Structure 1
Amino acid sequence: MKLTPKRHRSDSAKTATQAHQNAAQAPIEPPGYVTLPEPCKPFWDAIVTARARDLWTQADLVQAANLARVQHAIESSPIGSDEHAKLTRLSMALARAVAVHPTATAGRAADQVNQNTAERKARQDDGDELIPRLRAV
């Protein structure tokens, strides 16, 4: 007997509806049994919003809290120090463990080429008067 719920296709209406409902909610809070100091909270929020809300498990949230604490510690360690290097490696390992590394959240670099190219062209394009462009003030 399969214990995990059936996942819907990523391009289905049900998935789109769930994504909008998830996006409307505040970031997930850490489990009650996990201690997360307040200075780590911005890192926590960035981590838990990097992937779909309904894909997080309790075990993932514990690792996400560890990652938030490590990222906060990196900010206070001297750049280039052995401690900074060790914390950076630990951060990368934890990011892979909870699937919030760039490949998991943005896709393979090869798959991003078209999107990056389109954005670069859009920045260079002056467009025409019929298509309004956003401009920095």
Structure 2
Amino acid sequence: MKVTPKRNRSNSAAAAVAAAQSASLGPLQPPAHISLRPGDRPFWDGIMRARARNTWTDADLATAAGLARSQADIERLQAEVDTEGFTILSGKGAPIVNPKHKVLETLTRRAVSLCRVLHVHAEATVGRSRDVGNALANERQACLPLDDEDDLIPRLRIVS
């Protein structure tokens, strides 16, 4: 016996109304038992917008907080490595690989894994790579100048 309630079709009027209502509420807030640092907040908001509001569970929100923290830490550490460089001098004056690179690698692997668990990776949010490639080809085609340009037909103008 199925326990989960039946979901509306994504192309139904009810789904469109639910989407508009969810969008008006903004990103989900973290549960009271989860604390985010101020620098984590932009990442949290981005993660929350990657999935429909009604698909998040409490367990997902806890995992999303870990992802937001990891992404904020990656940005902070990357800025430090950009300043310090790939190599630093050891206590004896010999150049060594900056130890922050290992931490960055660990955090990056964690973030990728958490994205997969939460289904907020590119394939889940944008679609299969084949479809994305087709969309990119269409976009590139739209940017090409047309041989039979007519001033009465609006065209895409790229502003640089």
Matches within 5 A, 1:1-137: 1-77=1-77, 78=81, 81-125=101-145, 128-129=150-151, 130-136=153-159
Q: Deviations over 1:46-80 (max 9, x none)?
A: 10001111111111011001000000111122377
Shift of 1:134: 4.8
% identical aligned pairs: 42
TM-score normalised by length of structure 1:
0.89
Instruction: Write the distance in 2 (CA, Å) between the matches of 1:58 and 1:65.
Output: 11
Shift of 1:24: 2.1
Q: Is the 8 A contact 2:28 2:48 kept in 1?
A: yes
Shift of 1:128: 3.8
The residue aligned with 2:89 is: none
**Residue ranges of structure 2 left out of the alignment (5+ in a row):** 87-100
Change (3 A) 1:32 1:136: same
RMSD: 1.8
Instruction: Write the distance in 2 (CA, Å) between the matches of 1:19 and 1:125.
Output: 37
Instruction: Write the distance in 2 (CA, Å) between the matches of 1:93 and 1:17.
Output: 33
Instruction: Write the distance in 2 (CA, Å) between the matches of 1:63 and 1:128.
Output: 53
How many corresponding residue pairs? 137
**Residue ranges of structure 1 left out of the alignment (5+ in a row):** none
Q: Is the 8 A contact 2:60 2:118 kept in 1?
A: yes
Shift of 1:132: 4.5
Instruction: Write the distance in 2 (CA, Å) between the matches of 1:18 and 1:134.
Output: 35
Q: Deviations over 1:12-32 (max 9, x none)?
A: 222122222222221110011
1:59 counterpart SS class: helix
2:110 counterpart SS class: helix
TM-score normalised by length of structure 2:
0.77
2:4 counterpart SS class: coil
